[in-house]
Amino acid sequence: MTLIGRTRARGVETLSLDAPERRNALSAALVAELAEALADAGKDTGVRAVVLTHTGNTFSAGADLRDPPAPDALVALLRQIVELPRPVVARVTGHVRAGGLGLLAACDVAVAAHTATFAFTEVRIGVAPAVISLPLLPRTDPRALARYYLTGERLDTTEATRAGLLTAAAEDVDDALAPILDGLRRSAPEALAETKRLLTARVLETFDRDADTLTALSARLFASAHAREGMTAFLERRDPEWVV
């Protein structure tokens, strides 16, 4: 079963997370297929930009608790988006949770519909937004995000834009994306690649410095008793035992 849709129009490759029955959760299989699609787009000289979008009402619910990717596989995917020699634009018309926010932050531009919501739900299942912090923290306002990292509360598009998670929010996402994609089509490919390299240098420094530490932290937390209880409670649709 194909988990990533691929279409192309006027030099823009659109990759769609296409597992709506699983809320586009980041399973090992989906992560591997997305990595392959991105690699193909990065090597294709006919591709000027990549749009990362989704089917269904959720961009991504984060890690698939039944078939999670290895932490180092998720790190590699996030780095691949950041390093891709083509701009990657997130088109979001649904909700984004946990690991899905890592995908969003790895993209160069992110535009969402006003109806979208966002949440760092990791703390509520006994883990932390460790690996996804690699692209997130260099590109966002840590003070603005602290509350949401610590509480798991939802952000609306106004708060997400203020914090730096989004480039813009719009009533019609495609209308908002049209001038952005037009601008990318009008830009010289080598100049685009080098300009992206300038913009992502600080993000990649964070990967180089912190990836091993945060990968180890993620693995340790996912193996903890709190995580087992949190994931079980989530799947059983009940509060975990630590809720008071």
Residue type, 192: L
In order of start, what are the domains of the chain with their CATH numbers? 4-172 (3.90.226.10)
5 bridge partner residues: 16
Kind of pairing between the strands at 118-119 and 154-155:
antiparallel
Closest CA to 82 of 146, 139, 43: 139
| pLDDT at site 65 | 85
Q: How far, in Å, are 94, 131, 174 from residue 134 at the CA level?
A: 23, 6, 28
User: In the prediction, which pLDDT does 83 show?
Assistant: 98
Q: How far is CA 176 from CA 104, 170, 172, in A?
A: 17, 6, 6
Catalytic site residues? 122
Ranges of residues in the chain with a pLDDT under 70 are none
Q: Which residue in 192, 52, 35, 187 sits closest to 111, CA to CA?
A: 52
- The DSSP letter of residue 46 is T
CA dihedral 205, 69, 93, 187 (to 10 degrees): 40
pLDDT of residue 66: 87
> Mind giving me the DSSP string for 71-121?
HHHHHHHHHHHHH-SS-EEEEESSEEETHHHHHHHHSSEEEEETT--EE--
- Give pLDDT, residue 32: 97
What's the CA gap between 228 and 240, in Å, rounded?
A: 10
Pick from 51, 52, 74, 55: nearest CA to 63: 74
What pLDDT is stored for residue 1 in this prediction? 80
Sequence-separated (6 or more) residues with CB below 8 Å from residue 160 = 112, 116, 118, 166, 169
Residue 163's pLDDT is 96
Under a CB-based contact definition with an 8 Å cutoff, are residues 3 and 19 in contact?
yes
The one-letter code for the residue type at 232 is T
Cα–Cα distance measured from residue 124 to residue 237, given in angstroms and rounded to the nearest whole number: 12
Rounded to whole angstroms, the Cα distance separating 116 from 99 reads 16
Strand pairing report for 49-54 and 12-17: parallel
In the sheet where 118-119 sits, what is the strand order?
58-60, 95-97, 118-119, 154-155
